[in-house]
Structure 1
Amino acid sequence: MGDSSKHGPHKHGSGNLKVAFLLNFSFTIIEFIGGIWTNSIAILSDAVHDLGDSISLGLAWYFDRLSKRGNTPVDTYGYARYSLLGGLITAIVLIAGIGYIVWNASQRLLDPEDVDTTGMIVLAVIGVVFNGAAVLRVRKGSSLTEKVVSWHLLEDTLGWIAVLIGAAVMTFWDLPWVDPALSIGISLFVLWNVVRNLRKIMRVFMQRTPAKFDVPAFERAVRDLPGVVDIHDTRSWSIDGETHVLTAHVVVRTDALPDQVTKIKERVLECIDDDAFEDVTIEIEYGLLK
């Protein structure tokens, strides 16, 4: 006999992602215009990078909206994991973009070029405002997709802060290498954090046990319950990194009465963080006390 516990739907951040996408895409258009206005190949290159960012943000927003659909006979857990797919694509695009930026910045270190510092300062201020607003909006969310996207946008914000600082420095001193040096440092910092979140996403895709759920400790607690003979075949995985699934086979005494079995199930559920699990199924078996 089994027991399944179902909890309310997880709230996703499609509203946050929508705002982030619109802000990023709007600023990408401004970048293209500003790059032509300042005759800056660096800004035009970053505009191409931000266009890729906008595409990945749009995908993340679409997949997150798709994840809100209900269960179907084919997708019995619904579409929650689609939000992770958006986060995965975003992370891959971001890593590729960072590689592109680091490569171009390295070339600039070897062969520094003069830039229009006044135009850079104007665009940098606008960039900090747009991207900073997007970061603040997305960082309010808690899903893995929003975490990856927040680092995605933080890269752009810090990048424009670097442009602002570099332009200010180059306004007073002839140090054209400052801008590419700052870009490389910030890109490596953001890359480290993106890889950390990418590892979390892959952990969910591989259906590993949720990081905060200790299976051996759970099984020890269940075995100590009155009337429990043993527990086996404990399986736990995460749907989207926030809501989890748990199944287990609990062996009780052969003479256990129905009301005793019901009480055992209640105590088993008390051994877990009930709010973190989307579904909990306890299969009851009868066996002799060893």
Structure 2
Amino acid sequence: MSSHSHSQEVINLNSKLKFGILLNTIFTIIQFTVGIISGSLALISDAGHNLTDSLSLVISYFAQKMSGRKSTPDKTYGYGRATIISALINSVILITLAIYIFYEAYTRILHPEAVSGSLIAIVSFIGILVNGGIALLFRNSTKDLNMRSAFLSMAFDTLASVGALIAGIIIYFTHFFIIDAIVSIIIGLMLLFSAWGVLKDALHILFEGTPRGIDFEKVKKEIFDAFPEITNVDDLHIWSISSNKTALSCHITLEKSDIQKSVEIVTEVKKILHDRFAIEHSTIEIELSPCIDGVC
């Protein structure tokens, strides 16, 4: 990806995030107000989730802007991992909110309260339109972990609004008030599920694990089989600089010394890594003897 197209992509994502923040914040205020008036824990829980959505979108927005900064002598890889840290923070916030929802739902099950089913249904229907619309804005940007966390948050909030709508309809016709707490627990479980996946992926990147979808042994074999002159591949490391940029470093042992051939081999191996595994940044060191006891 060229620097120009990357910059344009960042600008587009920032515009989507700003619109999402504005729309979601307005709806959260409305939803929380109606939740208090109606006494619905499901609406208040969903409003709390929407509030964290707004916070998450704000964090994602600033992380996205920071990730567009150029590298410096002090930050040689740039600020690409700002989006990973953002995703990590967002997932922790969502997990904390889920735990709080479980506590409140448990209390409401022990002590059910009358709530307004009609208000819950109306606001939840609006929530489906708002959250679903914002989620659709982010649907094509999920390769970026930061944007994936924002998309999942809004998508699951749309499902939560569907649950609250169903609860509102049931309460309106049956006065089965405990369904409000049951829906809140379902919302909490969805939050926990979505946040846990993002948290694992963020930690995997921060611990510089081999990127998801890349087979370590297959990469090693592709390098080894590229040229008959290659007798060994060691000290291989594959990691993510950001959620959409992969790096690799390794040592290649050749059977004989030939500077011109070495340059040809390195160039071709880098091309293979880029074309077959989308590894953009690779550093390959040529050796004439394999590493011994970890010393290369």
TM-score (norm 1): 0.87
Could you tell me which residue of structure 1 aligns to residue 294 of structure 2? none
- For 1:86 and 1:67, locate their aligned partners in 2 and report how far apart those are by CA, in whole Å: 11
- For 2:259 and 2:53, locate their aligned partners in 1 and report how far apart those are by CA, in whole Å: 60
- For 1:92 and 1:116, locate their aligned partners in 2 and report how far apart those are by CA, in whole Å: 32
> Any conservation in 1 of the 2:53–2:150 contact (CA below 8 Å)?
no
Bigger shift: 89-98 or 272-281? 272-281
- For 1:159 and 1:94, locate their aligned partners in 2 and report how far apart those are by CA, in whole Å: 14
Could you tell me which residue of structure 2 aligns to residue 230 of structure 1? 232
- For 2:47 and 2:216, locate their aligned partners in 1 and report how far apart those are by CA, in whole Å: 48
- For 1:188 and 1:121, locate their aligned partners in 2 and report how far apart those are by CA, in whole Å: 21
- For 2:115 and 2:212, locate their aligned partners in 1 and report how far apart those are by CA, in whole Å: 48
Give the unaligned 5+ runs of structure 1.
1-6
Amino acid at match of 1:40: G
- For 1:91 and 1:223, locate their aligned partners in 2 and report how far apart those are by CA, in whole Å: 39
Could you tell me which residue of structure 1 aligns to residue 178 of structure 2? 177
Could you tell me which residue of structure 2 aligns to residue 88 of structure 1? 88
Which secondary structure state, in structure 2, belongs to the residue aligned with residue 234 of structure 1?
strand
Matching of residue 199 in structure 1 with residue 189 in structure 2: no
Give the unaligned 5+ runs of structure 2.
291-296
1:26-62: CA deviation from partner (whole Å, max 9, x where unpaired): 21222244345x3436345543443233222211111
- For 2:240 and 2:220, locate their aligned partners in 1 and report how far apart those are by CA, in whole Å: 18
- For 1:223 and 1:162, locate their aligned partners in 2 and report how far apart those are by CA, in whole Å: 53
Q: CA 1:282–1:170 in structure 2 vs 1: closer, same or farther (change >3 Å)?
A: same
- Shift, 1:96, TM fit: 1.0
Matching of residue 57 in structure 1 with residue 57 in structure 2: yes
Q: CA 1:35–1:265 in structure 2 vs 1: closer, same or farther (change >3 Å)?
A: same
Identity fraction in percent: 30
TM-score (norm 2): 0.85
> Any conservation in 1 of the 2:40–2:115 contact (CA below 8 Å)?
no
Q: CA 1:126–1:221 in structure 2 vs 1: closer, same or farther (change >3 Å)?
A: closer
> Any conservation in 2 of the 1:246–1:280 contact (CA below 8 Å)?
yes
Amino acid at match of 2:39: S
- The structure where helix makes up a greater share of residues is 2
- For 1:39 and 1:214, locate their aligned partners in 2 and report how far apart those are by CA, in whole Å: 53
- For 1:215 and 1:39, locate their aligned partners in 2 and report how far apart those are by CA, in whole Å: 55
- Shift, 1:270, TM fit: 4.2
- Shift, 1:160, TM fit: 1.7
Q: How many residues align?
A: 280
Could you tell me which residue of structure 1 aligns to residue 18 of structure 2? 18
TM alignment of 1:81-230, pairs within 5 A: 81-142=81-142, 143-224=144-225, 225-230=227-232
Could you tell me which residue of structure 2 aligns to residue 251 of structure 1? 253
1:171-193: CA deviation from partner (whole Å, max 9, x where unpaired): 11121111221221242134223
